Every structure is written in structure tokens, then in C-alpha cells.
Amino acid sequence: MKVIRSQSAGFCWGVERAIDIAAKFADDGRHPVYTDGPLIHNKQMMDRLTQKGVREVGDYQSKSTVEVSHEEKDEPIMVVRAHGISPDRRKYLKNLEMEFRDATCPDVGIIAGKIRLHAKKGFSTVIFGDPQHPEVIGLMGYTEGKGHVIQTKEDIDNLPEFGPVCLVSQSTMFTHEFEELSQHLKINNPEAVIIDTICGATKERQTGVVELAAEGAEAIVVIGGKHSANTRKLALLARQQKLPTYHIETWDDLDLDEIINFETVGVTAGASTPDFIIDDVCKKLETL
């Protein structure tokens, strides 16, 4: 079987940076290393980090109380994951009597900064994204109580009347959807400030899926966590290319009876998928 691997598949730099920060503390003998919720949306990588001594506490949305126990000789440290957190959550974690290290993706930090800057000027903030996603939950904390999350044109139509407004996006959304919603928001808010905050890594991966189809892929395998927002987006985009699409976490999830029917398969992966999983899938596909 011929395998076309997208050049942009796998870890984005923000995720890789967060992993490096937590892993380095563990490798240097600093224990325990806590993360507020899963550091990344990839179970296999989290298992490897757990073996190093990195411990996940809290919850997926960074809302629950953190309960930890360690011995007096330990030097605990709390690492904030790449998705970022709200100012209130940051204050809470810093008061846990342990060292605090922020591994928020700098791209997400830029979005938070833009929201805070406009909120201070009296702007309401509209965020295009999933209201249950930890990145969006964290960003809402910077809106000074004047934030709204939207996903559709109908959501925009149901927004209350407000004065000056800025529109930003969760970093992993579709660019074309953001553009459509931007134009719709401007119908009733012609002076709205539109800030495209979809990260470059997301745009590269989305472009890569389209390129796989153009290069002759008969089917596309998308590798990444089932709960990973950017991976689910890649799988949806692949289906929009009218190609059979298989969203898997590891090789064991792949339906071999179906995939064997294709001569050329494209492979991509979400921003939280490590290379060792992508390599494994590609090598095994090539043997079919």
C-alpha cells in the first residue's frame, strides 16, 4: 500500500513545549509533577508521562478542586497545560503551596491578551468555539463578564445588543467558518473588531488534509484522541473531501478489512499526536 503522510501531521510547537516543560522537571528528579487536567489530549502520551512521574490532577475543564498528597521531602510543582486557564484558576493554583509553572501555548496566551486588552476598553467579546472546551473556558475568564461563545449564525442572531465588540476564535477552529461568522456578525455590528486567532499549526494541518486528497489519496486515516478538538476537525474536513475517513487513536482501532481495499492512503494526525504513533501506523499500512 502507498502511504502519503501529511507534512504537518503531529505535535504542534505549543503541545511539544508543554510536554518538554513537564518531562524535564520529571527527568531532573523533581517529583511530583502535577498537571491541571490532562496535559494533552492523547492517552498514549499521557501514559508515557505518567511513567516518568507526571501526575494528572483536577479535571478536563480545569474547574474542580485539586486534591493532592505528597511526602514532606517532596518538591511538588504544578504545570498548566497548553490549553491555558482563566485568571481565577491561575490564582487558585498559585495558592496551592507548590511551585507554579505555566505551559500555556503562547498562541493561546496571545488570544487571552487580545481579549483582555479589548475588555479593558469596554468591548464585549464573542468567541467562536466550543463552550465546553478548556481553552474557551479559560479565555472566557479574560472577558470581564462580557463574553459570549458562538458556533453558528443562529447563535450570533441570539446575541444581546451590546456596544463595541470584538470577535476571536478558539485556536483550533475552521478558518472558512470563522470568516463566514465574521461577516454575519458585521451585519448588525459593522464596527466589530475581527481578530483571526486560529493558530498557524491548525491552518497547516487543515491545508494538509486538502493536499492529501489532491495528491491521490483514496482514503484518509486521521490519528489522534477521540476528545481532541483539532483532530475531530481534521476528520470532519477529510470527510468533506468525499473520501472514506478513519479517525483512530492507534493502529489497533483501524478496520483492516476496509482499509485493505485502497491502494493509496493519506495519513494525518492531530496536534497532540506523538510521532511514535504516526510512525507505527504508517509503517504497518505500508506492509498491507
What percent of the chain has pLDDT above 70?
Answer: 100
Q: Residue 84 pLDDT > 70, yes or no?
A: yes
Which residue matches cell numbers 493558530? Answer: 199
CATH of the domain at 162: 3.40.1010.20
* 1-53 tens-digit pLDDT: 999 999 889 888 999 999 999 999 999 988 889 999 888 778 888 888 999 88
| Residues 189 and 167 both lie in one domain | yes
* Domain that residue 137 falls in: 107-194
- Locate 38 and state its grid cell: 490532562
Last residue of a domain, one of 194, 211, 230: 194
| Residues 91 and 169 both lie in one domain | no
**Reported pTM:** 0.90
Q: Give the pLDDT confidence score for residue 193 in this predicted structure.
A: 98
| Residues 140 and 98 both lie in one domain | no
| Residues 208 and 129 both lie in one domain | no
What are the b/e assignments for 181-203, b being 16+ CB within 10 Å? Answer: bbebbeeebeebebeebbbebbe
Average pLDDT, rounded, for the chain: 93
Q: Give the pLDDT confidence score for residue 191 in this predicted structure.
A: 95
> Is residue 56 flagged as an active site residue?
no
* 101-148 tens-digit pLDDT: 999 999 999 999 999 999 999 999 999 999 999 999 999 999 999 999
| Residues 177 and 220 both lie in one domain | no
| Residues 24 and 98 both lie in one domain | yes
| Residues 71 and 125 both lie in one domain | no
Last residue of a domain, one of 60, 83, 104: 104
Q: Give the pLDDT confidence score for residue 204 in this predicted structure.
A: 92
- Locate 158 and state its grid cell: 441570539
| Residues 255 and 276 both lie in one domain | yes
Last residue of a domain, one of 176, 194, 212: 194
Q: Sign of the C-alpha dihedral, residues 95, 92, 82, 282?
A: positive
- Among the options 71, 99, 135, 263, which is catalytic? 135
CATH of the domain at 40: 3.40.50.11270
Distance of alpha carbon 152 from alpha carbon 162, whole angstroms = 18
| Confidence label for 72 from pLDDT (cuts 50, 70 and 90) | low
Q: Sign of the C-alpha dihedral, residues 95, 137, 197, 161?
A: negative
Q: Give the pLDDT confidence score for residue 226 in this predicted structure.
A: 85
Element (H, E) at 51: helix 43-52
Q: How many domains does the chain have?
A: 3
Q: Provide long-range contacts, Cβ within 8 A and 24+ apart, for 146-152.
A: 146/119, 147/115, 148/124, 150/126, 150/181, 152/181
